[in-house]
Amino acid sequence: MLPRVDLRGNPAASLGRRRLDGVLPRARLDVEAALEAVLPVCEDVRLRGAPAVRDQTKRFDGVDLATTRVAPQALTDALAGLGPKLRSALEEAARRARLPPDSVTTVAVGATVTERYVPVGRAGVYVPGGLVAYPSSVVMNVIPAQVAGVTEIAVASPPRPEHGGLPHPAVLAACALLGVTEVHAAGGAQAIAMLGYGTSDCAGVDIVTGPGNVYVAAAKRLLLGRVGTDGEAGPTEVAIIADHSADPALVAADLVAQAEHDPLAACLLITTDAGLADRADAELAGQVAAARHRDRVEAALAGQSACVLVDDADAALAISDAWAPEHLEIQAERAEELAGRVRNAGAVFVGPYAPVSLGDYLAGSNHVLPTGGTARHSAGLSVLTFLRGIHVVTCGAAALAEVAPLIDELGGAEDLAAHVNAVRARVRGAS
């Protein structure tokens, strides 16, 4: 039922993201095409890779490079050539910059740095309304904003002709349940633009969150900088690491559950047991035939899904980390131990009784998660999405005098004499 990708015989260390690009299936969204205004230099780099980067470097910076990668020896030489005073200043700057979140750190006698979190003033939440209604997305977006302390929340969701031009009733009910009083019947790119720019009907917001189609993603990218966003959500995806101990009926059920979201949904079964793969295929045949959204499920499983055969758990983890799934299930022996080794995933579901469906609704985790491999560098939506960290610095005269020589070095190295003078004026005045 699932196309097979046999990677047995490859050690885990060889199964990195670069090697597996184009080998593992995934639905792609051409946000650039939706924007219709991508910068030519970015498109050139996308198409030609490193040669394009080098060409553009020569064009804009006047430097002709053989490679953009700086040689390790150049780094070593630069550090060795650094003056001792400047090096000491940089080391102290680095030490002080290592602040745990939401903390007060005494960096020296008479000097503190406080990092406090402040909520945005107004948040815009987009709730999609395409193939199905998503009242759960209201919960997943609104609750973190409320917990963060956001005082104004505006929800936008597509109007539906069958409901009198209003968003789906379940979406409206969820808003009412959570005390959201500002809801707009608007969908797609125009809804994102409304939230970002503001209209006579809807004041502009500080951040826009919530999943949507490629046009929603493109609009978010276009407005990024004017407002904050939670990222560009693409088609949903799941990876399941399973071994001989997994129940093939449960594995099949979870694949079907993810596939029913969208014909572009991606499902990856990663297993050390070819027999489990066969048993899961047998289960899929019956479960797909009985699925309410059979056409959707069949398209997803045939289009950008696969069963990957590997030798061991280490290889399975390497495949998963390379793919960086939105959702990762681990139905295998030592599941908790394996979960602790995962580096790239939006959310991890451990054991046979923690399906993705639990996380979609009631696990307490958030279901607005990074897709398309962006879990390598991004996290899911949370309270932190709606908070901004602000550093508050206090410093006494003696503490400033103590670091003034270091600032002399740093400011001098950057040719910013006025920075040095701003400190020296205070040190002189205090002496």
Alpha-carbon span 381 to 263, nearest angstrom: 24
Cβ 116 vs Cβ 149: under 8 Å: no
Active site annotation includes 326? yes
Identified catalytic residue from 283, 326, 329, 409: 326
Which of 121, 127, 131 is closest to 191 using CA atoms? 127
Tokens of residue 395, six digits: 């410093």
Residue 428, helix vs strand vs coil: helix
Active site annotation includes 367? no
Tokens of residue 420, six digits: 């040095």
* Residue 193, amino acid: A
> What is 356-378 written as a DSSP string?
HHHHHHTSSS-S----TTGGGT-
Scan for tokens 């047991």, then name that residue: 273
Alpha carbon dihedral 176, 178, 183, 189, in 10-degree steps, equals -140
Strand stretches in 387-426, DSSP E: 387-395
Cβ 223 vs Cβ 208: under 8 Å: yes
Identified catalytic residue from 232, 327, 329, 367: 327
Alpha-carbon span 116 to 395, nearest angstrom: 17
Q: Which residues are catalytic?
A: 326-327
